[in-house]
Structure 1
Amino acid sequence: MILNEPQLAENIGSVARVMANFGLSDLRLVRPRDGWPQERAWASASGAHWPLDDAKVFDTLEAAIADLKLVYATTARPRETRLPIYTPRESAGHLAEEVAQGRAVGLLFGGERAGLETDDIALCQAIVSIPIDERFRSLNLAQAVSINAYEWKMTQDDRPWRKFEQNVEEPADQAALLGLYGHLEDELEKAGFYHPPEKKPSMVRNLRAPLARARLSDQEVRTFRGVITALSKGRGRVLAKLAEKAKKEAP
């Protein structure tokens, strides 16, 4: 479980208690508002101390998910990010398939005040949205974790999920994908792609979403980065030739 910018120590402790209920222990905290550790979290965990004892703290969300093969974002508001949307039951099935293949996965939860930002969701491969009444869509952080953790536990106790074919290539981890995103976005910046400039954030999200959905393998990431490098070098040669020609033709 990844908590992005959690605010209250009591909520972190309640999340740890839920995780212990359903056999989960890997807790990752991204920029907790009041720092870490916080004694009130242990008090709220009611004895479920092991997720808190081993909790990892990160300065950025990118660092928190870098070693994971698949990350789903939990939010009641999908916003403009164009990613698949699943219920907790559907997502638990997908995550269980990945774990059965030895792949590290994560569920991302936003802070209590505003949830996840669009840019945070864009780092993930899909969205998990709990089907609750439209008249009141606010859930406590631990409640949201408990619903997803319960569905996960059900996949472990009685798992009818199909196995992935053994010859399918391993998907790239998030660090490799982030490297690809940065490489592509830097070259597009040099080429003047982001126009008008104020639309750059939405354009970047629209570029990342299809790449995230594709579940690229490490080899595919390397191939795409090779393509980007080749195109950028080709553009550089064309510009050099044009500059040379202009120099020769100058009076």
Structure 2
Amino acid sequence: MKHPVIILVEPQLAENIGMVARAMANFGLSELRLVSPRNGWPKKGAHSAASGATHVLEHAKLFETAREAIADLHYVFATTARERGQMKRVLGPDAAMGEAQSRLGEGQGVGILFGRERTGLENDEISLADAIVTFPVDGQFSSLNLAQAVLLVAYEWRKLAGAALPFSGERRSPPAPRHMVVSFFEYLETELEAVNFYPPDKQPIMARNMRDVFHRLELTEQDVRTLRGAIRALAEGRRLRKP
């Protein structure tokens, strides 16, 4: 077992099961176990709500009780938004997934129990778990949708797995070499002098300050070419307008 198992106890709505499958697939989880879903399984509407994550639904395993669903696992987390008075460790989703990763690395099977949409897990079901996972929600509104709870856990798992972002915002143009930047400064300052931009005796300090502005931008080659072209267009347009 390479990933934690998601276990839904008596889920009621097909749409919620489908959205759970979608959340799992978003973050690389695939093993779903269903404990006595209301009105049986499969449910009409689950596949459309899964938005393409049908592989998760098609391989979902069905169990009569939570006890049966966790029988082959070595460590189980139970999710709850309320304090249940049970002497168990309480972890946030990030810490819980850190422990799951460690135990899975040792060859243990790890599962996460999620309860019913309206009432959550019962105390007897929580008593089957080794630890509790809860979320840092606003105390005035602690209710989470089933798929949202699974999403939060799956996201923390994915982060720990070291998954890279799907695309990067890095600049494609390389950094501008210093000779290119200095040439741009000289060109800009020449054009500013031509329009009497600098007050008397202020040209040196104002030029240095402006250079510092551009240095902070860490100009790329494309940046310099674009800026130089824009200034050239302004300067030539001004010259053409002269009588």
What's the TM-score, normalizing by structure 2? 0.64
Kept after mapping to 2: 8 A contact 1:2/1:30: yes
Q: Distance in 2 between matches of 1:39 and 1:55?
A: 15
Q: Which residue of 1 aligns with 2:140?
A: 135
Mark the runs of 5 or more structure 1 residues left unpaired by the alignment. 159-251
> Per-residue CA shift, 1:156-180, capped at 9, x if unaligned?
117xxxxxxxxxxxxxxxxxxxxxx
Shift of residue 102, structure 1, vs aligned partner: 1.8
Q: Which residue of 1 aligns with 2:87?
A: 82
Match of 1:41 among 46, 71, 78: 46
Kept after mapping to 2: 8 A contact 1:27/1:54: yes
Q: Which residue of 2 aligns with 1:61?
A: 66
Kept after mapping to 2: 8 A contact 1:26/1:55: yes
Shift of residue 39, structure 1, vs aligned partner: 2.6
Q: Which residue of 2 aligns with 1:169?
A: none
Mark the runs of 5 or more structure 2 residues left unpaired by the alignment. 1-5, 164-243
Match of 1:115 among 116, 120, 126: 120
1:156 corresponds to 2:142? no
Q: Which residue of 1 aligns with 2:20?
A: 15
Kept after mapping to 2: 8 A contact 1:80/1:118: no
5 Å-filtered alignment, 1:231-250, equals none
Shift of residue 104, structure 1, vs aligned partner: 1.0
User: By percentage of residues, which structure has more helix?
Assistant: 1
The amino acid across from 2:34 in the alignment is L
Q: Distance in 1 between matches of 2:44 and 2:29?
A: 21
Shift of residue 34, structure 1, vs aligned partner: 1.6
Q: Distance in 1 between matches of 2:122 and 2:157?
A: 25
Q: Work out the number of aligned pairs and report it.
A: 158
1:97 corresponds to 2:97? no
Q: Distance in 1 between matches of 2:110 and 2:130?
A: 11
Q: Distance in 2 between matches of 1:143 and 1:7?
A: 15
Q: Distance in 1 between matches of 2:52 and 2:146?
A: 19
State the identity as a percent: 54
What is the SS of the residue equivalent to 2:119?
coil
Kept after mapping to 2: 8 A contact 1:5/1:30: yes
RMSD, aligned α-carbons: 0.8
> Per-residue CA shift, 1:121-174, capped at 9, x if unaligned?
00000000101000100000000000010001111117xxxxxxxxxxxxxxxx
Q: Distance in 1 between matches of 2:56 and 2:25?
A: 7
Kept after mapping to 2: 8 A contact 1:71/1:125: yes
What's the TM-score, normalizing by structure 1? 0.62
What is the SS of the residue equivalent to 1:39?
coil
Runs of 4+ in 1 over 4 A off after TM superposition: none
5 Å-filtered alignment, 1:197-208, equals none
Q: Distance in 2 between matches of 1:34 and 1:100?
A: 37
Kept after mapping to 2: 8 A contact 1:78/1:127: no
The amino acid across from 1:124 in the alignment is A
Q: Which residue of 2 aligns with 1:27?
A: 32
Shift of residue 78, structure 1, vs aligned partner: 2.8
Q: Distance in 1 between matches of 2:13 and 2:48?
A: 12
Kept after mapping to 2: 8 A contact 1:14/1:142: yes
The amino acid across from 2:128 in the alignment is L
